[in-house]
Structure 1
Amino acid sequence: MFSYRHAFHAGNHADVLKHTMLIAILRHLTQKDAALMVVDTHAGAGLYRLDGDYAGTSGEAADGVLKLAMAVSPAGKGKPAALPDPAPILQDYLDMVAGFNKAGELKVYPGSPFIIQQLLREEARDKLKLFEMHPTDSKALAANIAQLQAGRQVAVARADGFEGLKAFLPPPSRRALVLIDPSYEIKSDYPKVSACIQDSLKRFATGTYVVWYPVIPRPEAHELPRRLKTLANQAGKPWLHATLAIGQGEGAVHIPGEREHGPGLTASGMFVINPPHTLRGALQVALPQLVNVLGRGRGQGQSLEASG
């Protein structure tokens, strides 16, 4: 049950998609004065070394954040960048990651907890609740968060995020963002995500719910976005669905115990219920750029659909 470690995959193409969208959503939600409650149901360790043993083993960041960062930088003396005019949300994402590194370096990658915390507002009394069940990652998460000295702004719990979320809906401020991105290492994660969304919409229908999932040859993975679409439509709530596929690459390395998320993962999706109205337009610019930069050949592409 606990073989999955996100450290192997930090900064890969799936993280680029997930965190680019997460930042864009948070930028919009924090424009309103009222406090925002953010819940990350599967937080991981929170902070990762791209030059460490885990990320170095898979090298997935090379086809993700590192490749994107290189594309927006000048190729050399007198040579233009491969992506000289990145979409604003991609530049925002790269600036966020750069903020965790020394100038000219990219050795540290912030997971969702650290990205979210960077965008929380003290004056608005925004709150972040983090759940992580993996024994090693939950310990690392608590230690990493402690370094922030964020006080009551951030709370960490070694508990089931699907169940723990229920206690925070609806939030006192009536404003919430929920990120759900389990490992999907076991088949039961897929129906758990659907059940969690169904329950959450009953408890707090106006919250913004963000679900990440892997696009893999498994019936449950293809059924999940269809199920989420049905739940959103039944609740009468708007939704947005984006996917990014980088295509087949050469030289994949198998990591023992990483059945679903090894370096062979070529595509992932994000489903958002109650998305910001600005998100679709921002992604229409960003997604084609991501395919152009990160695409590796056969099977590469992107899709974007939304209700209404």
Structure 2
Amino acid sequence: MFSYRHAFHAGNHADVLKHTTLIATLQYLTQKDAGLTLIDTHAGAGLYRLDSDFSETGGEARDGIFKLMTDQRPASPDASNKTARPSTERSDSAMKVDTSAIQDYLDLITGFNPDGRLRVYPGSPFVMHSLLRTEARDKLKLFELHPTDSKVLAANVAQLEAGRQIAVARQDGFEGLKAFLPPPNRRALVLIDPSYELKSDYAQVSACIQDCLKRFATGTYMVWYPVIPRPEAHDLPRRLKTLANQAKRPWLHATLAIGADETPPAALAVPGEPRRHGLRASGVFLINPPHTLKAALEPALATMLKALGRGPGKGTSLETGG
């Protein structure tokens, strides 16, 4: 269904939803002085070039971070340049949200591209690292099983010279996670976002969350998943709601659908083959979310939809419970 390699999808609309939510969650959790343990079960390579062969294959960042960062004025003559500099002005949709979760997300991405040319996209490990606090002794645990991505991840992390603050392991994150729950500091955020290439990934996510809640019920757990026409995908959020309700823990569920592409990019059209449309929607499900997260995501989702929505089926949803 999807390539395991995160680089194929770096900066797409699903990353916009996932990382905006992740940043808003971390900003709340780091308000307390106590240390925090962050765990990414499927870390990928950690850092991506948006002008690389992988990223350009599907051009998914064009329908994600590029659209969000660029204003809605008519395209300039050099708009076809793959590394064209986004406008320094915000789009109308972004400007209407004052000190929003979207602005915080855009600011973080801009920090990785100080020259103003959007070439580098930080994956979840680098998003998390950007918000780590040295004085609080926050810790980041990264798991990646893919042989190539795990090597690239280790090399990227090594450049941070973060010492023991970050640990990288080439290991199945579903299993590796268990050794860190509960964490010594009794505060944790766990991000779970496998590739979902295999149907078994959905069941593994549910089983993982069930085990996590038994080991450490008060941790914050964030699951990303694709919204696709597959029974397992539709059943996953329902299963997660059941697990959260059974554990009597609060939860939040948000989705973003950009809709069908009525005019798919020529790069995606192959003569004699059906046109590829790619992922159109995804969701995030959090157990023990910050109580401020719903209010932060409501305007953020509206901004995402205005900037990224493209055709029939577009929309957002946001619900809480527990």
> TM (normalized to structure 1)?
0.93
Aligned to 1:185: 197
Distance 1:229 1:103, change over 3 A: same
1:142 alignment partner, SS class: helix
Distance of 2:132 and 2:277 partners within structure 1: 32
Distance of 1:225 and 1:212 partners within structure 2: 10
Aligned to 2:51: 51
Distance of 1:178 and 1:108 partners within structure 2: 24
**How do residues 289-308 of structure 1 correspond to structure 2 at under 5 angstroms?**
289-308=303-322
Deviation at 1:254, TM superposition (A): 6.1
Distance of 2:294 and 2:258 partners within structure 1: 20
Deviation at 1:288, TM superposition (A): 1.3
1:4 alignment partner, SS class: coil
Deviation at 1:104, TM superposition (A): 1.9
2:222 alignment partner, SS class: strand
Retained in 1: the 8 A contact 2:260–2:311? yes
Equivalent of residue 222 in structure 2, options 197, 200, 210: 210
Retained in 2: the 8 A contact 1:43–1:131? yes
Retained in 2: the 8 A contact 1:58–1:263? no
Equivalent of residue 166 in structure 2, options 154, 159, 162: 154
Distance 1:57 1:228, change over 3 A: same
Tell me which amino acid in the other structure corresponds to 1:228: L
1:117-160 Cα deviation digits (max 9, x unpaired): 01000000000000001111000000000000000000000000
Deviation at 1:85, TM superposition (A): 2.1
1:52-101 Cα deviation digits (max 9, x unpaired): 11111111001000100013899999x98432223510000000001011
Q: Which runs of 4+ in 1 moved over 4 A?
A: 72-77, 252-255
Tell me which amino acid in the other structure corresponds to 1:45: A
Distance 1:213 1:2, change over 3 A: closer
Aligned to 1:222: 234
Deviation at 1:286, TM superposition (A): 1.1
Distance of 1:90 and 1:156 partners within structure 2: 29
Distance of 2:2 and 2:12 partners within structure 1: 20
Distance 1:138 1:263, change over 3 A: farther
Q: Name stretches of at least 5 consecutive residues in structure 2 with no aligned partner.
A: 77-86, 270-275
1:296 alignment partner, SS class: coil
Distance of 1:70 and 1:235 partners within structure 2: 43
Distance 1:7 1:278, change over 3 A: same
Tell me which amino acid in the other structure corresponds to 1:182: P
Aligned to 2:120: 108
Deviation at 1:3, TM superposition (A): 5.0
> Over aligned residue pairs, what C-alpha RMSD do you find?
2.3
1:171-194 Cα deviation digits (max 9, x unpaired): 011000000000000000000000
Question: What is the total number of aligned residue pairs between the two structures?
Answer: 302
> TM (normalized to structure 2)?
0.89
Retained in 1: the 8 A contact 2:2–2:196? no
Deviation at 1:2, TM superposition (A): 10
Percent identity (aligned): 70
Distance of 1:278 and 1:68 partners within structure 2: 23
**How do residues 11-160 of structure 1 correspond to structure 2 at under 5 angstroms?**
11-71=11-71, 81-83=91-93, 84-86=95-97, 88-160=100-172
Distance of 1:81 and 1:214 partners within structure 2: 27
Distance of 2:321 and 2:15 partners within structure 1: 24
Q: Name stretches of at least 5 consecutive residues in structure 1 with no aligned partner.
A: 256-261
